[in-house]
Amino acid sequence: MKQYKILSLMAIALTMIILDSCSNSTSSTPVTSGSGMSAYFPSAKGTWWITNTYDTDTLGNQLTLTATDSLYNAGNQLIDTKNAIIQITQHLMNSGQPADTSYFYTSGNVLYNYTSENPLDSKTASKWLAVIDLSKSSWTIFTLDSVMNINGFNFNVKATFTGKKTLENGTISLFGKTWNTKEVMMTMNMTMTGEILGLGTITVIQKMEVTMTLANNLGLAKTVTYTTSIDPQSGYSKTGSTMIVTNYSGK
């Protein structure tokens, strides 16, 4: 039904705030370059990554390839007094899909993303949000408690978006090299409740967990995402995806 589709699209849209992010030689020594957030989020103009995204089952097995993307740092732009990194994402498996542009900057141990706390409301202005803080074991990115009118129906949306460090010192092997890593998990919990004529009170509950592997001198090397939802249309569901870097060129 149309009303259920609206709820599902709103739930998906809210998750978009989560970070709108090759060598032939071999080495057994972990690649290391510097410290702080900038070492885990390369900002030099011309740096690029190629990533593959796969559907993932609940056991973590990678299934169908769903996307191949190209990310590159296009330069810098002054935004709200910050010298932002402009990062462009091209969708290589779907040339008709417009490129995405995201803005980041790093300061000390913190990665900031210029985005809206409420992507469901186009009137909500963007601002700098601290999305990762390597100096802390846990942090709050934002909380949301808002009433929105969709097609004449009012929905109360409550959401929390938090982060935590899950691994201080790890490694990952890519392109014949071993990279030192840190791991963080970002969690979004959301409840949407609305009155729909003829259906009564409708509630949609969604939880998204994104585990991010940050590699020193490489950047975001891997993400594993699981989304669980409970809604009147499909009941309980759980879906997963894995993104991994397949090629990289630093500057």
Please indicate, yes or no, if residue 24 is contained in any of the structural domains: no
pLDDT per residue as tens digits for the range 137-196: 999 998 989 887 767 778 888 999 999 999 999 999 998 999 999 999 999 998 988 877
Please indicate, yes or no, if residue 135 is contained in any of the structural domains: yes
pLDDT per residue as tens digits for the range 86-124: 999 999 988 778 889 999 999 999 999 998 876 666 677
CB of 37 closer than 8 Å to CB of 236:
no
Percent of the chain whose predicted confidence (pLDDT) is above 70? 82
pLDDT at position 164: 97
pLDDT at position 26: 37
Structural domains counted in the chain? 1
| pLDDT band, very low/low/confident/very high, at 23 (cuts 50, 70, 90) | very low
Please indicate, yes or no, if residue 98 is contained in any of the structural domains: yes
Residue 21 has pLDDT above 50, yes or no: no
Residue 76 has pLDDT above 50, yes or no: yes
Q: What is the CATH number of the domain that holds 209?
A: 2.40.360
Please indicate, yes or no, if residue 90 is contained in any of the structural domains: yes
Question: Which class for 28: exposed (0-12), middle (13-18), buried (19 or more C-beta within 10 A)?
Answer: exposed
Q: What phi and psi, each to the nearest 5 degrees, are found at residue 211?
A: -95, 125
Question: Around Cβ 41, how many Cβ atoms within 10 Å?
Answer: 21
Please indicate, yes or no, if residue 64 is contained in any of the structural domains: yes
What predicted TM-score, i.e. pTM, was given to this entire model? 0.82
Please indicate, yes or no, if residue 25 is contained in any of the structural domains: no
Percent of the chain whose predicted confidence (pLDDT) is above 90? 56
pLDDT at position 1: 42
Rounded Cα–Cα distance for residues 183 and 154 (Å): 38
Q: What is the overall mean pLDDT for the chain?
A: 83
Structure tokens at 82: 């910050």
Please indicate, yes or no, if residue 160 is contained in any of the structural domains: yes
State which residues form the domain around 97: 2-19+30-249
| pLDDT band, very low/low/confident/very high, at 250 (cuts 50, 70, 90) | confident
Residue 60 has pLDDT above 50, yes or no: yes
Rounded Cα–Cα distance for residues 111 and 132 (Å): 5
pLDDT at position 119: 61
